[in-house]
Amino acid sequence: PTMFKLTNKNLDHMTHCGVLEFVADEGICYLPHWMMQNLLLEEGSLVQVESVNLQVATYSKFQPQSPGFLDITNPKAVLENALRNFAFLTTGNVTIYELELRLMETKPNKAVSITECDTNLDFDAPLGYKEPERQVQHKESTEGEADHSGYAGELGFRAFSGSGNRLDGKKKGVEPRSSPIKCGDIKRGIPNYIFKLGEIPFIRNACPLVKKVEEDEAGGRFVTFSGEGQSLSKKGRKP
């Protein structure tokens, strides 16, 4: 297609365009209103027209002029559909006034052709957009300072708290405890009122461990199979 460069010499603004029809009188050209806004022209102003050759675009970056652009569903598809009505892109121009997009960068040059080509589209942060501040969540209490008295009680009896014996008489490595430990145990049916969504509390045994007990004061440990055997019938000894 025929390519032209339009320049406003007074304000040093330029853009690029093609030709729809050659029907205007000599010395007169008709431009769309959005193109006149890019060139800062009024009706009857002077504009310089030059014939140029532009390379095919490989990359284009747009910046929305208002944060409201973020409300559009699938903005990339909307932009691709709108660019079908354009043949050229110039860096610095507000190309699509309906979407309020300013062209920030084009490759390989500042002015490129987008006729029958595949180009990569990218978006910059909208003008005046501010990222939402992240709210820092303060921890109310640490794991060691947590008070579980509301749903924990004390039980005196603890199952399987005694010592074990082996058939071979050897002792286990774990020493028996002198007395049952009174440690808090969770009661069933009482809800956790300090539960927070996304957190799983692990309640550890806060009771101090009992020191290992030495031998019983009664006189030593119990030894398995240390008694005497008995027989139902007594047999006499042979001489």
What pLDDT digit, counting tens, does each position of 58-75 carry?
999 999 888 888 888 888
- Segment 107-111 shows an average pLDDT of 91
Domain spanning 1-128: which CATH class is it, in words?
alpha beta
Q: What is the pLDDT of residue 18?
A: 87
pLDDT in tens, 126-157: 888 887 777 766 655 555 555 555 544 455 56
- What is the C-alpha to C-alpha distance for residues 61 and 210, in angstroms, rounded to an integer? 70
Both tokens of 199, joined, read 């957190």
**Average per-residue pLDDT for the chain:** 76
Both tokens of 30, joined, read 């008709």
- What is the C-alpha to C-alpha distance for residues 126 and 186, in angstroms, rounded to an integer? 54
For the chain, the structural domain boundaries read 1-128, 144-164+175-207
Element spanning 239, H or E: none
Q: What is the pLDDT of residue 7?
A: 93
Tell me the CA distances in angstroms from 237 to 2, 36, 231, one per residue in order: 133, 134, 14
- What is the C-alpha to C-alpha distance for residues 188 and 185, in angstroms, rounded to an integer? 9
User: Is the pLDDT reported for residue 178 higher than 90?
Assistant: no
User: Is the pLDDT reported for residue 203 higher than 90?
Assistant: no
Q: Are the beta carbons of 31 and 44 closer than 8 angstroms?
A: no
Q: What is the pLDDT of residue 112?
A: 92
3-state SS track over 103-147: EEEEECCCEEECCCCCCEEEECCCCCCCCCCCCCCCCCCCCCCCC
pLDDT in tens, 37-60: 889 998 888 999 999 999 999 999
pLDDT in tens, 182-200: 555 555 666 777 778 888 8
Q: What is the pLDDT of residue 58?
A: 92
Which of 66-75, 90-99, 148-157, 163-172 bottoms out in mean pLDDT, i.e. has the lowest? Answer: 148-157
Q: What is the pLDDT of residue 152?
A: 47
Q: Are the beta carbons of 4 and 50 closer than 8 angstroms?
A: yes
- Segment 221-238 shows an average pLDDT of 68
198: left (phi over 0), alpha (psi -120 to 50) or beta: left
Q: What is the pLDDT of residue 173?
A: 61
Helices (runs of H) and strands (runs of E) counted in the chain: 2, 11
